[in-house]
Structure 1
Amino acid sequence: MSVLVFQRTDSPLATASVYALTYLPPIIGGPLLAALADRHARRRIMIICDLLRAAMVALMAIPGIPFAALSVLVFCVVLLSAPFSAARAALLPEILEGDRYVVGSALQNMTNQGAQMLGFALGGALIMGMGPYRALALDAATYLASALILVAGVRRRPAPLCGDADSSSMWTMTRGGAKLVFGDLRLRTLVLFAWLCGFYVLPEGIATPYAATLTDDPQRISFIAGLLMGAMPTGTVVGAFLFGRYVSPSRRLRVMGWLAMLTCAPLIVCAVRPPLAVVLVLWFVSGVGGAYQLAANAAFVQCVPAERRALAFGLVHSGLLASQGVGILVGGAAADRFGPENVVALAGAAGLLVAAALAVLWVRSRKEIIEGVRAEATA
């Protein structure tokens, strides 16, 4: 959709707006829907979300569907990612305990980023060969496949809350979850670390207009955009592997602030308008730094009660997508005026300042978490 819109409008703002549409829905209903995963069996929530999304994407694959209807369906599909992601995030610590959770999170992150890497790199060529509607039909089938994997590979578990907790309204649960997450300095700092990605994900949202500055051949824009969009996920795969396998749990928590700064610092170099090869390296290094999210995620799990995990993760996930969507939308508007390269550099500089401030806050609040990790490792 991003490539099609840019071809029709030649506008970075319009392109970024379409891309941002996949991030903004959680602002509206994400936190409330995430509470469902603390009231009902998490496996069941995931299966229902997959089936609903498969149906919606199948509707999107109908040739000739109006663009407005397509946008509404995209909005709804992304909205359902909130309860699905919250349920999955809360379920994983029940399956994997201790440092196995970090390793499992790393494998999951590598799988997700690897899929994005291949999708962004080959997606343009695939759509040119299949057409957008067949590609959407294939996408609908992947949601059905996900539901089948959950049915076959994940055993049933009871709902995490029972008794009086079940009678609480979702709004009451959401307010309680927000108080839990933002009333604790440690959790608040970890949440802000997660939301930092609003700065370093911005380049992906304007990758197509950025690609247009690197070539005079209109036929190569989608290919170069795919390479750019795949550079960060590739770096994240490499970073997650190295960080999860060769860095000790306590050490991960100590270097988290430095890695957060690494995600943003390389983007500043884009201000000098380097060639494609250098841009790919810079965006790759930025992706490597994104491995700090593994440590932040593990520390967050350690600090949140199990029965409130889905809602807490849902709040973080909703804010995560919202920060990315707003960042991309603002970046697209700025790119119309200042150019994609300058906007990427400004995002990197602003993100570096925020990451440095968070690193200072983290030094003050990480001691108790590190001691807990050491005690767990000793036990």
Structure 2
Amino acid sequence: MNAAFHRYWTARLVSYAGDQIARTALLVAVFDRYGGAALGLFLLAATVPRLFGPALGALADRFDQRRIIVACDLTQAALYTTIALLSPSLPVLLALVAAASVAATTFTPAGRSLMPELVGPERLGEANARLAVGVNIGFAAGPALGGVLLATAGLTPTLLLDVATFLVSAALVAGLRPLARRGAPIKEPLRAVLRDGLGVVRRNLVVRAVACGFLMLVTFAALDNVAIVPLVRDSLGAGPVAVGLLTSAYGVGMVAGPLLIARGADRIRIDLVLYASLLVIGAGTVLTGLSYAVAIAVAGQALAGAGAGWHNVAADTLVQRHVPANRLGTVFGTIYLFPYAAEVLAYLAGAALLGAVGGRSLLVISGLGVTATLALVVPLLSRALSAERGNTDRREPVTVVA
């Protein structure tokens, strides 16, 4: 892997860890200061901007992704500095958090669109796996660090640490060489970029298979979030420490899964990695639901986390390989709407199901539903990849031997 990728990998690890530290600290601080209703508003302010993913993703197809990433990092640094130093009232805080979420939503498709430029199409599988390791280390460690820092140093130093991570990330990415633009001319109107990108989402069979799989997968997988605490408290008779262990185990699995496949990711069929991920997530979730001891539940969550890590690597690699480079931003911005929509469905259904069947059965339902996603994804993706191979074969020149 080249030096530019390692630079970007470090930037993502630092920035994502800082983001998780700040998110955890703010969640606790908002709840302590304003109560549960305010916490719901905080989560809403952080989530609603994600719905603008297609339009914000189109920016990555219109402008240099490197500059977008730097601008997003600097914007978030400024916003969190304001929160840290001014301790604003709740309405102002929510507005600042929403603005930071807009920057984060813009960052995500730009970062994913950057990968083919950084490593080339032949190294995408390995690069995505390595990147997932870094991001998931931040995901696993950030919340714990955020809680410790809030308890020992207070909110302002914790948020200023987050600001520092954004500045480090911006400096690292700014040091990358200017990127070559492939495809659409740089002066193409943004509305045309968005229109054409959404057209790719509608027509591209690989994108359709990945998006539909995301919707069904997360609808069932997110039931896990509803069921874990009742399982631990009611069925296993354990306390908050056990809840934390299960959550950490999932994060550790998300690091270990991509790490296991990183070296060979470009030598195996990435669609098979996607199918395996659904089986592993489903099996781990069912094992968690059927567990009779905390240790077994921890193992189940680690297994499910490993599958989730594989799924993210496979989904991103499939899209990067089968979508034109100058439309990746809009496509990624659109595809990642589906998990957020699925989470809403899961939380609405999960609340009702939890009262009816309990945490243990809800986890089993979650795992079986994730596994059943294979019945949707396998035929869709197999048909899409077969069609792509057929088109490639028809485009190959015929050699006539005299």
TM-score (norm 2): 0.77
Alpha-carbon distance in 2 for matches of 1:10, 1:205:
20
Q: Report the CA distance between 1:284 and its aligned residue.
A: 0.7
**Higher-Rg member (1/2):** 2
Which structure 2 residue ranges, 5 or more long, are not aligned?
A: 1-25, 393-402
Q: Does 1:25 align with 2:49?
A: yes
SS in 2 for 1:249: coil
Q: Deviations over 1:30-85 (max 9, x none)?
A: 21111111111111111111111111122222464333433332222222222211
Asked if structure 2 preserves the Cα contact closer than 8 Å seen for 1:204 and 1:228, the reply is no
Alignment of 1:261-276 (within 5 A): 261-272=279-290, 274-276=292-294
Alpha-carbon distance in 1 for matches of 2:147, 2:350:
21
Name the residue aligned to 1:199. 220
Alpha-carbon distance in 2 for matches of 1:363, 1:299:
12
Asked if structure 2 preserves the Cα contact closer than 8 Å seen for 1:120 and 1:227, the reply is no
Q: 1:309 to 1:64 in 2, by over 3 A?
A: closer
Q: 1:334 to 1:278 in 2, by over 3 A?
A: farther
Name the residue aligned to 1:188. 208
Alpha-carbon distance in 2 for matches of 1:109, 1:231:
16
Alpha-carbon distance in 1 for matches of 2:318, 2:334:
16
Name the residue aligned to 1:55. 78
Which of 337, 348, 351 aligns to 2:370? It is: 351
Q: Does 1:310 align with 2:329?
A: yes
Alignment of 1:1-379 (within 5 A): 1-3=26-28, 19=43, 22-27=46-51, 29-62=52-85, 64-152=87-175, 154-157=176-179, 163=185, 166-170=187-191, 172-195=192-215, 196-204=217-225, 213=234, 221=240, 223-246=241-264, 249-272=267-290, 274-290=292-308, 291-320=310-339, 322-323=340-341, 325-327=343-345, 329-330=347-348, 333-334=351-352, 337=355, 340-367=359-386
Name which of structure 1's ranges 202-211 and 112-121 shifts more when overlaid on structure 2: 202-211
Q: Deviations over 1:250-291 (max 9, x none)?
A: 433234213223213322344446432222111110111121
Name which of structure 1's ranges 33-42 and 76-85 shifts more when overlaid on structure 2: 76-85
Asked if structure 1 preserves the Cα contact closer than 8 Å seen for 2:128 and 2:313, the reply is yes
Q: 1:136 to 1:42 in 2, by over 3 A?
A: same
Q: 1:244 to 1:89 in 2, by over 3 A?
A: same
Alpha-carbon distance in 1 for matches of 2:79, 2:38:
24
Asked if structure 2 preserves the Cα contact closer than 8 Å seen for 1:202 and 1:328, the reply is yes
Alpha-carbon distance in 2 for matches of 1:240, 1:114:
11
Asked if structure 2 preserves the Cα contact closer than 8 Å seen for 1:334 and 1:343, the reply is no
Name the residue aligned to 2:398. none
Name the residue aligned to 1:375. none
Which structure 1 residue ranges, 5 or more long, are not aligned?
A: 373-379
SS in 1 for 2:316: helix
Alpha-carbon distance in 2 for matches of 1:47, 1:125:
29
Which residue identity does 2:68 align to in structure 1?
I
Asked if structure 2 preserves the Cα contact closer than 8 Å seen for 1:233 and 1:284, the reply is yes
Q: Deviations over 1:202-228 (max 9, x none)?
A: 5357766766558989xx63x544433
Asked if structure 1 preserves the Cα contact closer than 8 Å seen for 2:117 and 2:180, the reply is no
Alpha-carbon distance in 1 for matches of 2:346, 2:151:
25
Which residue identity does 2:140 align to in structure 1?
M
Which residue identity does 1:155 align to in structure 2?
R
Root mean square deviation of aligned Cα: 3.5
Alpha-carbon distance in 1 for matches of 2:30, 2:231:
15
